Each structure stands twice: as structure tokens, then as C-alpha cells.
């Protein structure tokens, strides 16, 4: 019999190597591919929406410029002429040409009112042809506000 302590003959516990994160399991690769695909799709849709709204941003910038010009020199006839041109140009950029190009008079006013929360007055179609349009400063500001909302509400049809 050995008089030595049997516990002294034991070796230290050998720990296994740490589990490596690489290579990833198949499920993680699939999750990564799905996440990247979703990110690419989200960026593509955002870019497409941003490009579709380029005309809206340009029209709103022109509308702000018209409002600033009216503030500096209140000329109702010039404002209405410019506003009418801006609304028609924007409508032509957003809607099929056949739906917008031939509209005049009350048909144009009906088209404007179809996408407006508050109706446009007949002054918009008659004032550009009058020597002195019967619009007050408040009427012009209301017309600018309606036009701003109309530009936001007009849907885009490819």
C-alpha cells in the first residue's frame, strides 16, 4: 500500500476550450441575410418615395417664394396668376396629362376642389383676367394656405 496521499495523485481539471463564435450557425446566417435584405428594401423604398416627393418639395418651395414675394409687394393679380400656373404645373407633374391638361374654367376648379379640404373660390379662375381682382389680403393668405394643403393632398399617379 502506498502511504502517499491519494488526493495528491489527482491532476487539475482540464477545462474545455471556449466555444468559438465563428463560424456562425446556419440560423444566424439566415437571420443576417433577412436583416440585410430588409434594410436594403427599406432604403430602396425610402429613396423611391424621396424621389416621388421631389416635385412636391419644389412646388412647396415655389409656393413659399410666392408668399414671400406677396409679403414684400402685395399684388393680388400677380399672386393669383403665379399661383394658378404653379398649381397647374404641379398637377401636370403628379397626374396623367390627359386628366389635367385640358381642364379650364369650372372643370379646373372642380379638379382643384376634389383634392382640397376647403374649396377654392371662383376668384382663382376669374381674377387673372380682371384688371383689379376683388381679393383682400386675407383672401390671398387663405388662398396660399389652401394651395399649400392642396399640394400636400394631391395624390401621385404614375
What residue spans define the domains of the chain?
21-52, 53-153
How far apart are the C-alpha atoms of 67 and 148, rounded to whole Å? 11
Instruction: Give the torsion sign (CA, 68, 72, 77, 82).
Output: negative
Q: What is the pLDDT of residue 69?
A: 92
Q: Which of 31-35, 40-44, 71-75 has the lowest mean pLDDT?
A: 71-75
**pTM for this one?**
0.70
The number of residues in the chain equals: 158
Q: What is the pLDDT of residue 133?
A: 66
Residue ranges in the chain assigned as alpha helix (H): 26-52, 54-72, 76-94, 97-100, 105-114, 123-126, 137-153
**CA distances from residue 88 to 7, 26, 111 in whole angstroms, order as listed:** 96, 56, 10
pLDDT tens readout for residues 85-141: 999 999 998 888 888 888 888 888 888 888 887 787 777 777 767 767 677 888 888
How far apart are the C-alpha atoms of 16 and 20, rounded to whole Å? 12
Q: What is the pLDDT of residue 158?
A: 61
Given pLDDT bands bounded at 50, 70 and 90, which one contains residue 57? Answer: very high
Residues 78-85 have a mean pLDDT of 89
Q: What is the pLDDT of residue 101?
A: 87
51-87 in b/e form (b: 16+ CB < 10 A) is eeeebbeebbebbeebbeebeeeeebeebbebbbebb
Q: Which carries the bigger pLDDT value, residue 79 or residue 121?
A: 79
Q: What is the pLDDT of residue 30?
A: 95
- % residues pLDDT > 70 (the chain): 95
Q: What is the pLDDT of residue 155?
A: 81
Mean pLDDT of the chain: 86
Q: What is the pLDDT of residue 3?
A: 61
Amino acid at each position: 500500500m502506498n502511504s502517499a496521499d491519494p488526493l495528491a495523485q489527482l491532476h487539475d481539471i482540464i477545462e474545455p476550450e471556449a466555444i468559438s463564435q465563428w463560424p456562425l450557425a446556419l440560423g444566424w446566417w439566415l437571420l443576417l441575410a433577412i436583416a440585410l435584405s430588409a434594410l436594403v428594401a427599406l432604403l430602396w423604398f425610402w429613396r423611391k418615395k424621396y424621389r416621388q416627393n421631389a416635385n412636391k418639395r419644389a412646388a412647396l418651395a415655389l409656393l413659399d417664394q410666392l408668399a414671400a414675394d406677396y409679403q414684400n409687394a402685395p399684388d393680388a393679380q400677380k399672386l393669383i396668376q403665379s399661383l394658378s400656373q404653379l398649381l397647374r404645373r404641379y398637377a401636370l407633374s403628379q397626374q396623367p396629362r390627359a386628366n389635367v391638361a385640358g381642364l379650364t374654367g369650372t372643370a379646373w376648379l372642380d379638379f382643384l376642389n376634389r383634392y382640397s379640404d376647403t374649396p377654392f373660390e371662383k376668384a382663382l379662375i376669374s381674377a387673372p383676367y380682371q384688371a383689379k381682382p376683388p381679393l383682400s389680403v386675407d383672401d390671398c393668405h387663405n388662398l396660399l394656405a389652401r394651395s399649400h394643403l392642396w399640394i400636400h393632398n394631391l395624390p401621385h399617379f404614375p
